[in-house]
């Protein structure tokens, strides 16, 4: 998983690398990034729109640091467990290595790929929204349509560190990215087939 960081993560990475902040003082599990997305499962989910696919990618946003984090959420209005989280779907255009958050490791996302399928828009952040605060060591379950991630594009989610007195939108933010390679290898082919079938077989809802 590539975790692209803006200001906040760069500062933390520098402090950890210089020894000014010990990873054991900030990270709960020093072997993992301070916030990350963990794959849960692929399964059916209720559609939030008429042209949305019915298969979902379920994951957890995990807070692995000793500060709360805050993320923008919404109520899906379905019987599915978890919450809705706003995400942005972006094409994979970068080549070579990308800096991985916290430990300075490099992960190869590989070359960009073309897809015959249409890239979805993701769940765009509106002017009015709710937020969820994730305490240290806790996580939050959510799902997105399975086609929000493919070999040709990935999803990104913005979050903020939330020390006392802060709120969503205050201070530097960080961005989590979830790629096709973050899905367990044995499930990628299954997920790909499900996505293709759902895209081809889902009837379009016409507005009257």
pLDDT band at 193 (very low <50, low <70, confident <90, very high): low
Is 45 inside a domain boundary? Answer: yes
pLDDT at position 26: 87
Closest to 120 (Cα-Cα) out of 193, 47, 169: 47
pLDDT at position 51: 80
Q: How do residues 117-153 score in pLDDT, each as one tens digit?
A: 789 989 999 888 999 999 999 999 999 999 999 999 9
DSSP string, 133-190: EE-TT-EEEEEEEGGGSBTTEEEEEEEEE--TT--TTSS--EEEEE-GGGS-HHHHHH
Q: Tell me the three state secondary structure of residue 56.
A: strand
pLDDT at position 187: 82
Is 207 inside a domain boundary? Answer: no
Q: Can you tell me the mean pLDDT for 98-118?
A: 48
pLDDT at position 192: 59
pLDDT band at 165 (very low <50, low <70, confident <90, very high): confident
Question: Could you tell me the sign of the dihedral formed by the alpha carbons of 143, 111, 32, 189, in that order?
Answer: positive
pLDDT band at 111 (very low <50, low <70, confident <90, very high): very low
Q: How do residues 9-34 score in pLDDT, each as one tens digit?
A: 445 544 444 444 556 778 999 999 99
Q: How do residues 36-79 score in pLDDT, each as one tens digit?
A: 999 999 999 999 987 888 899 999 999 999 999 999 999 999 99
- The neighbouring-strand residues paired with 6 are none
Is 208 inside a domain boundary? Answer: no
Q: How far apart are CA 156 and CA 4, in angstroms?
A: 9
Is 37 inside a domain boundary? Answer: yes
Q: How far apart are CA 134 and CA 140, in angstroms?
A: 7
Q: Which domain holds residue 79?
A: 8-201
Which tops the pLDDT comparison, 206 or 183? 183
Is 185 inside a domain boundary? Answer: yes
Is 1 inside a domain boundary? Answer: no
Which H helix or E strand runs over 14? helix 8-18
Burial 122-143 (b: 16+ CB within 10 A, else e): bbeeeeeeeebebeeeebbebb
Closest to 1 (Cα-Cα) out of 121, 138, 156: 156
Is 3 inside a domain boundary? Answer: no
pLDDT at position 118: 85
Please check whether residue 188 is in contact with residue 149, taking contact to mean a CB–CB distance below 8 angstroms.
no
Please check whether residue 158 is in contact with residue 137, taking contact to mean a CB–CB distance below 8 angstroms.
no
Q: How far apart are CA 110 and CA 108, in angstroms?
A: 5
pLDDT band at 8 (very low <50, low <70, confident <90, very high): low
Is 141 inside a domain boundary? Answer: yes
Number of domains in the chain: 1
pLDDT at position 22: 54
The answer on pLDDT for 99 being more than 80 is no
Which tops the pLDDT comparison, 167 or 58? 58
């Amino acid at each position: 998983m590539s975790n692209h960081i803006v200001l906040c993560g760069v500062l933390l990475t520098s402090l950890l690398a210089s020894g000014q902040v010990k990873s054991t003082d900030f990270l709960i599990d020093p072997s993992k990034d301070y916030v990350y997305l963990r794959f849960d499962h692929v399964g059916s989910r209720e559609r939030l729109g008429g042209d949305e696919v019915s298969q979902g990618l379920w994951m957890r946003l995990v807070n692995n640091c000793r500060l709360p984090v805050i993320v923008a959420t919404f109520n899906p209005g379905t019987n599915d467990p978890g919450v809705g989280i706003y995400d942005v779907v972006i094409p994979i255009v970068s080549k070579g290595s990308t800096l991985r958050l916290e430990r300075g490791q490099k992960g190869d996302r590989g070359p960009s790929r073309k897809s015959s399928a249409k890239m979805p828009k993701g769940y765009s952040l509106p002017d009015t929204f709710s937020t969820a605060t994730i305490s240290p060591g806790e996580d939050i379950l959510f799902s997105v349509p399975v086609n929000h991630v493919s070999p040709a594009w990935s999803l990104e989610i913005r979050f903020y560190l939330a020390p006392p007195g802060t709120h969503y939108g205050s201070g530097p933010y960080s961005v989590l990215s979830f790629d096709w390679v973050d899905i367990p290898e044995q499930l990628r082919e299954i997920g790909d087939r499900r996505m293709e079938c759902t895209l081809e077989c889902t009837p379009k809802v016409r507005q009257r």
